[in-house]
Structure 1
Amino acid sequence: MGPPSGIVAIVGRPNVGKSTLFNRISGQRRAIVDEMAGLTRDRLYGIAEWRGRRFTVVDTAGLDPRGSTRDDAEHVALVRGTQQQARLAIAEADVICLMVDVRSGITALDEEVAGILRAGGKPIVLAGNKADSPVDPYFAHELYRLGLGEPVLVSALTGIDTGDLLDRIVDELPPPDPEAEVPASALRLAIVGRPNVGKSSLLNALAGEERALVSPLPGTTRDAVDTWLDRPEGAVQLVDTAGIRRRGVIDTDVEHYSLLRALRAMERSDVAVLVVDASTGIVAQDRHVAGYAADAGKGLVVVVNKWDLLDFETRAAPATLKTVAAAFAFVPGVPVIAGSALDGRNVSKVIAAARGVAEARSTRVPTPVLNDLLRRALEDRPPRLHKGRRLKLFYAAQAQAASPTVVLFVNDPELLHFSYRRYLEHRIRAVFAFNGVPLQLVARRRSAQQAAAS
């Protein structure tokens, strides 16, 4: 299955169940990612799969003002925040899912948001949430007041009819973007990171000219800026993005717009170049951004910028870079480059490292070699019994996917414990490193008879 294509924004006033729906439809992907060591995050987005289509889902709950509406000032903040949420969806999403609460009925705020969305001209799917039990016909009919066509009544909590909702959403998504006409050897890089870590400075150092506005103020790069570089080993496409800010401190719709642009930039990249600030050290949000790239199956290179600001003892200590690599242990073998975009230190190594990661991402493991490798792994460490049953691996093959994916045909996927999955991944990586690349193992049910017949 290909990379995600298309963005769906879940919009609605507070407490209608946006985050619950987000967790419901992106939960399978999240469960795979959360099994990786050291990967904890306050997620704003997820990758959903439905009817063979992968797309990005954005939970706009981060725009909700927190607190009560007991006084006028807080109520004004509530209305303003929800309006920003709607305008954000109009600006960047391909499809908007407007969620309302069928239990409490339609409110004036629901109607105002619906009006803003209608004016935006984007496809809108109306979801009436909390329909855990039969809905009063009056409330169901009331949803038509919003002028958004036939609603889909769902329960995000229990999953009732969320499949019908996904059917409607996928039907509204535009066709996947065809691959841009680029040279076969072209390397597509997304430069990502928090605000003010030096992404634009790195782009300028790589390009050798001022292509993006460089400013010490966070978030001054408001849009994606593509730059093409001609290199002897092949063309390079650089995508500079405004930083992904921590959820708790994002207070403008511009920063949310930048977040979506960063996600879209990673969608069309091969490798994400994560820029971190040596002067502040690795923070949780740096790991979150790396996790976004891993979710999308992209390669990763970490650039520790502003290295020149550290004292000599810190720069000379071998443990410094090891600490950085350990922070991104969920992507084994990730290249870490210490440098300075301002004085050009080690900037030349970035493209070479990214190309190496891209080559690792395109590695194909011969099926006989893969099966022999995994057979020996099972012999060395047989899987444990679970309720009297033991995992059996009949055969394995690497899927035809943009990012490395190994399909394991087993007697029962439920018997593949996440720790044993990690063990098998380590055995594969011991032979085929896949450095800086997420490696996904997918278990599929296969009977002994089917395996023998194939």
Structure 2
Amino acid sequence: MSFTAAIIGRPNVGKSTLFNRLVGAKIALVDDTPGVTRDRRPGEARIGDLYFTIIDTAGLEEADPASLEGRMRAQTEAAIAEADVSLFLIDARVGVTPVDEHFADLLRRVGKPVVLIANKAEGKVGEEGVMEAYSLGFGEPVAISAEHGQGMADLFNALLPFEIRAEETDEEEGEDEVLIGPDGEEIFPEIDPAKPIKVAIVGRPNAGKSTLINTMLGEERLLTGPEAGITRDSISVDWVWRDRRINLFDTAGMRKKARVEQKLEKLSVGDALRSIRFAEVVVLMLDATMPFEKQDLQIADLVAREGRALVIALNKWDLIEDRQKAMADLREMAERLLPQVRGVPLVPLSGLTGSGIDKLMTELMKVYATWNRRVPTAALNKWLAGVLEHHPPPAVSGRRIKLRYMTQHKARPPTFVAFCSRPEALPEAYTRYLVNGLREAFDLTAVPLRLIMRKGENPYDDKDKRR
């Protein structure tokens, strides 16, 4: 493995801009407002042929440990402890400030390597700040412009020694891990070829998304608290559940569109929407004391329209008194309000205590398997023949519509194509009838289904017979 670098500095010195530059994509939210980044966010960085892990962090600020700013600082300190080297950013246009000096002392006390970076050094305005940076005692500063990509060659040279150290460490670790079999041959550990399942945790603000992920991981990996809207970036963390690799995405809470006015919140919601599109399974967190509000239904509908598998987590279940009656009511509401994902599992849990997490993951794996399911063409057409005999399509304008053949076009989500004599005339109600029949006959519950009607004949009919 390569090395890990954490980007450290006071608010608004360009840490997220540098992070985006190094990972080659606009992943971290960037705005002129100080303190946009709150959680620590890892990414795969590259400068030329130098590959390493980079961690974006919140701006370092002096604050009460119990406050939001104090908890943000704790996340940054955790990133410093995790990293092999800290990239200490200052704003070259402003020069060295008392806050920069304070956190330079903090980094010296930690005792890990530091690369000093003078950002925003383009033009003559930044030259004075670059010279002033020597006073921090970390040697020669690397002058860059993260926004314009200047100085990346110098940053490459400053980081190259850490790759060499990481390679040497890997060689030493590899020698310790090699096992010798009874026949004298080396035995290397098997590599699991299975890709991690991408799971996005979504919901309204303060639904307990970050708390749930922290409980899953067994550590305070994500910033949490009573304040609504703490999470801004969509943060990806790796987790293993019963030997299965899971890629968890924590997302910003999504309020009603009419209430989202500030630019920063729009960016956060946009990041959450991208996480849904890239996910394979989406866990919609509901507050069990206030379930199925309009915004919850809109998020569930968005997940279905994007074609993702869905599981609904009923958080704060420990606050519910009559649980049996509450669950019966919630199941009835889900069937009535979410027909597009009929049969979606409802899992009661407590993100704070961890109860219900195993049940959540069990249901998630079932839904993931359904989302990937393929139905044999022979079974589909046998089912279709029975449907047509029992309930044929209606006659439109005095002409009967003929359904000739059906096949599954793709999975993820299950998508079917039916060949029909007049697809444009087939009533939508009959299409829904077919979709519901597919769900019931082939156990395709809890995932969105696609049924495409096309005009054409059975491609497996003999061509001479059609002539």
Q: Would you call these one fold, judging by a TM-score over 0.5?
A: yes
Residue 203 of structure 1 is matched in structure 2 by: 213
> Which amino acid in structure 2 is aligned with residue 436 of structure 1?
A
Residue 449 (structure 1) shift: 9.2
Residue 322 of structure 2 is matched in structure 1 by: 313
Residue 329 (structure 1) shift: 2.6
Cα distance in 2 for residues equivalent to 1:437 and 1:264: 19
CA deviations over 1:326-375 (Å, ceiling 9, x no partner) = 23232011010011111112122112111110100111100010011011
Residue 421 of structure 1 is matched in structure 2 by: 431
Cα distance in 2 for residues equivalent to 1:359 and 1:274: 18
Percent identity of the aligned residues? 37
Q: Secondary structure at the match of 1:330?
A: helix
1:305 to 1:183, Cα distance in 2 relative to 1, 3 A? farther
CA deviations over 1:157-209 (Å, ceiling 9, x no partner) = xxxxxxxxxxxxxxxxxxxxxxxx99525211010111111111111122221
- Conserved? CA contact 1:324–1:336, under 8 Å: no
Q: Unpaired runs of 5+ in structure 1?
A: 1-5, 8-119, 122-180
Cα distance in 2 for residues equivalent to 1:407 and 1:183: 32
Residue 392 of structure 1 is matched in structure 2 by: 402
- Given the alignment, which residue of 238, 242, 245 partners 2:248? 238
Q: CA RMSD in A?
A: 2.5
> Which amino acid in structure 1 is aligned with residue 270 of structure 2?
L
CA deviations over 1:107-150 (Å, ceiling 9, x no partner) = xxxxxxxxxxxxx99xxxxxxxxxxxxxxxxxxxxxxxxxxxxx
- Conserved? CA contact 1:361–1:437, under 8 Å: yes
- Conserved? CA contact 1:307–1:315, under 8 Å: no
1:243 to 1:426, Cα distance in 2 relative to 1, 3 A? same
Residue 393 of structure 2 is matched in structure 1 by: 383
Residue 381 of structure 2 is matched in structure 1 by: 371
Cα distance in 2 for residues equivalent to 1:263 and 1:279: 25
- Given the alignment, which residue of 327, 332, 351 partners 1:323? 332
TM-score, normalised with respect to structure 1: 0.57
- Conserved? CA contact 1:411–1:448, under 8 Å: no
Residue 281 (structure 1) shift: 2.2
- Conserved? CA contact 2:314–2:347, under 8 Å: yes
Q: Secondary structure at the match of 2:341?
A: coil
CA deviations over 1:405-440 (Å, ceiling 9, x no partner) = 000111111122111111111211112112210011
Residue 248 (structure 1) shift: 1.8
Residue 452 (structure 1) shift: 5.1
Runs of 4+ aligned structure 1 residues displaced above 6 Å come to none
Instruction: Say whether residues 1:433 and 2:438 are aligned partners.
Output: no
Residue 190 of structure 1 is matched in structure 2 by: 200
Residue 348 of structure 1 is matched in structure 2 by: 358
1:223 to 1:318, Cα distance in 2 relative to 1, 3 A? closer
Query: Who wins on radius of gyration, i.e. which is larger?
Result: 2
Residue 315 (structure 1) shift: 5.2
Q: Unpaired runs of 5+ in structure 2?
A: 1-24, 27-146, 149-190
- Conserved? CA contact 2:281–2:309, under 8 Å: yes
Residue 143 of structure 1 is matched in structure 2 by: none
Cα distance in 2 for residues equivalent to 1:309 and 1:363: 37
TM-score, normalised with respect to structure 2: 0.56
Cα distance in 1 for residues equivalent to 2:327 and 2:223: 34
Residue 378 (structure 1) shift: 1.1
Residue 226 (structure 1) shift: 0.7
- Conserved? CA contact 1:183–1:235, under 8 Å: no
Residue 319 (structure 1) shift: 2.1
> Which amino acid in structure 2 is aligned with residue 320 of structure 1?
D
Figure out how many residues of one structure are paired with residues of the other and give that number: 277
Residue 384 (structure 1) shift: 1.0
Q: Secondary structure at the match of 1:297?
A: coil
Residue 261 (structure 1) shift: 0.9
Cα distance in 2 for residues equivalent to 1:449 and 1:232: 44
Cα distance in 2 for residues equivalent to 1:198 and 1:449: 51
- Name the stretch that deviates more: 441-450 or 212-221: 441-450
Higher relative contact order (CA 8 A, sep 6+): 1
